[in-house]
Amino acid sequence: MNHVIVCEHLAPWKTTRLMKLRSLISFVQLRVLSSFSCNHKGHEVTRRICAYALVAYGLAGVAHTQARPLPGTDVPQIYNRLLPQIEKIPAFDHHAHPGFFDDADVDAMAAPPGSAALRERDTNPELVAAAKALFGYPYNDLSPEHAKWLVQKKAELKKSRGNQYFSDLLDKLNIERGVANRAMMADYLDPKRFPWVFFADSFMWPFNNQRETARNSDEQVYIPLQEKMLHRWMQQENVGKLPAKFDDYLAFVSRTLEDNQKKGGIAMKFEVAYFRPTKFGDPAREEAEDIYHRFVNGGIPNEQEYRTFQDYIFRYLVREGGRLHLPVHIHSAVGIGDYFNLSESNILNLENILRDPRYSNTIFVMIHGGYPYDRQAIWLAAVKNVYLDTSETEILLYPSEFKHLLKQWLETFPDKITFGTDAFPYNETLGAEESYWLGVQSSRTALAAALAEMISEGEVSEAQALQLAHGYLHDNAVAIYEGKGH
């Protein structure tokens, strides 16, 4: 049954505006969908129909608020107003590797020789600015002779501040909490300030890895470290050797996740893109079980056999993440080394996992935001349980370019993007401290620039822009962890 809408409670001129919109919305068949109604001036109309009418009225004003394709000359002024306010927002750093240069547990893998992007090289003059801001560095270069001052200054602070050293760093940078994505936690990191994200890749490499290691010089570095990580988990769980039964191996995996969560772990992390393609099949349990039983006591699986086993274990870990409410972090961007394969690690390879309804209870955080496929990656955030993190990209890209990435994401799914630094101790002189500073400064300035353009173009108001800033820098990530980030 069709209904003619007469909203007599609207002013006459508003009713006229609605009538003019009839040609625009005539294709919408308004039907009574609910018996729950409202009575206004003797006319009974359903609430659903009233809502449609009000939406139509709202459309009438669209022409007056159409966003502009070009920013105006007011962008610098808006930027200068926004930046001090953005700098006051306490941040939640969603991805970093805090620690000292001589701490082997800052990551579950090591960096093989390879080319560094321009901004990541130790010749970057911004690193001098970081040293000045954080430590009062008195020189204008990082020559070996001058760098000795910086090394000595850090050593003095480390000795005098002890376990407060890295907490002091967060305070200087207005970081409320910073995720510690590490192989194991360090006693010099305050767990209240540095929530732990542990690594889960090693469960996929339990067999003889001779074939895997021989693939190239990168894997000769990576795979032995995965073997080491698996043995550490086995030691933690008092497992002397790989269980004979597949069921018992899966139980060991689950128990490790549960114990790590009890120790303060807030998520598990995969950097699997460094070790194999990120396109995961969907084998039956029986296939994985057969492979396990054939190789648990020796022998070398061929590539297809190993991939099939890994596909099943990866999906098992993802399911366990949903059961335990343990988010899954996945390296999804370009990587280091000479043999990192961009096409085989493309974030879109993971779409069959992210859109699988069986994993709808698992939260995914795509670490590094899929760069350089960031334009495609943001549309994966349409999935309710998928988030993106901008760490690494804010260091690879200068702020003038990073703002474009941020702007596109803010204009698409602003509630699904999170801030991160990917801080890492590169060497004795240039440690995690300087990369923290660079990541924070780049992100805050690029964010202010992106939002200034959005305001100037009529996309958001200044108040809305600051809400988006709070979301990106803090609120979006904190909400993922059900209070664990507070």
Nearest Cα neighbor of 149 from 423, 426, 441, 428 is 428
Segments forming the whole domain that contains residue 194: 75-480
Same domain, 263 and 363: yes
Whether 2 maps to a domain, the answer reads no
Q: Do 272 and 141 belong to one domain?
A: yes
Residue 250 to residue 87: CA distance in whole angstroms: 46
- Residue 13: its pLDDT value, please? 39
Contacts for 142 with CB less than 8 Å, ≥ 6 apart: 122, 127, 128, 131, 150, 429, 430
Instruction: Identify the band that residue 17 occupies on the pLDDT scale cut at 50, 70 and 90.
Output: very low
Given pLDDT bands bounded at 50, 70 and 90, which one contains residue 97?
very high
Is the pTM of the predicted complex or chain greater than 0.75? Answer: yes
Same domain flag for 406 and 439: yes
Which among 106, 51, 73 is positioned nearest to 271, based on CA atoms? 106
- Check whether residue 437 and residue 462 sit in a common domain: yes
Q: What is the pLDDT of residue 426?
A: 87
Q: Is the pLDDT of residue 387 over 90?
A: yes
Q: For 47-70, how does the pLDDT look when each residue is reduced to its tens digit (9 = 90+)?
A: 333 433 433 333 333 335 799 999
**Residue 141 is assigned to a structural domain of this protein:** yes
CA 58 to chain centre: 35
346 & 458 share domain = yes
Q: Strand locations in 295-442, DSSP E?
A: 328-331, 364-367, 386-389, 417-418
Pick from 313, 303, 196, 176: nearest CA to 259: 196
127 and 256 inside one domain: yes
Q: Tell me whether residue 176 is exposed, middle or buried, using C-beta atoms within 10 angstroms of its C-beta: 0 to 12, 13 to 18, 19 or more.
A: middle
Q: Are residues 165 and 16 in the same domain?
A: no
Q: Domain for residue 429, yes or no?
A: yes
The predicted-structure confidence for 333-378, as pLDDT tens digits, reads as follows 999 999 999 999 999 999 999 999 999 999 999 999 999 999 999 9
C-beta separation of 349 from 368 below 8 A: no
E strand or H helix that includes residue 92:
strand 91-93
Evaluate whether 256 touches 237 at the Cβ level (below 8 Å): yes
Say if residue 58 is in the same domain as residue 167.
Answer: no
Quick: pLDDT tens for 396-445: 999 999 999 999 999 999 999 999 999 999 888 889 999 999 999 999 99
pLDDT tops 80 at residue 135:
yes
Same domain, 48 and 182: no
Mean pLDDT across 43-50: 38
Q: Could you give phi then psi for residue 391, rounded to 5 degrees?
A: -60, 155
Q: Model confidence over 247-263: pLDDT tens digits?
A: 999 999 999 999 999 99
Mean pLDDT of the residues in the chain: 88
- Is 382 in the same domain as 457? yes
Is residue 399 domain-shared with residue 468, that is, in the same domain? Answer: yes
Q: For 148-194, how does the pLDDT look when each residue is reduced to its tens digit (9 = 90+)?
A: 999 999 999 999 999 999 999 999 999 999 999 999 999 999 999 99
Task: Tell me if 183 sits within 8 A of 229, measured CB to CB.
Answer: yes
* Residue partners of 274: CB distance under 8 A and separation at least 6: 109, 218, 222, 331, 335, 337, 340
- Is 328 part of any domain? yes
Q: Give me the pLDDT at residue 483, please.
A: 58
User: How far lies 127's CA from each of 22, 157, 251, in Å?
Assistant: 61, 19, 46
Distance of alpha carbon 432 from alpha carbon 442, whole angstroms: 15
Query: What CA–CA distance (Å, rounded) separates 147 from 317?
Result: 44
pLDDT beyond 60 at 457: yes
Q: Please say whether the beta carbons of 421 and 435 come within 8 A.
A: yes
* Residue 373 · residue 348 · CB < 8 Å: yes
- 263 inside domain: yes
In a domain, 360, yes or no: yes
> What does residue 330 show for φ and ψ, rounded to 5 degrees?
-130, 125
- How deeply is 279 buried, as exposed, middle or buried, from its count of CB atoms within 10 A (0-12, 13-18, 19+)? middle
Same-domain status, 153 and 37: no
Please state the domain count of the chain.
2
The CATH number covering residue 289 comes to 3.20.20.140
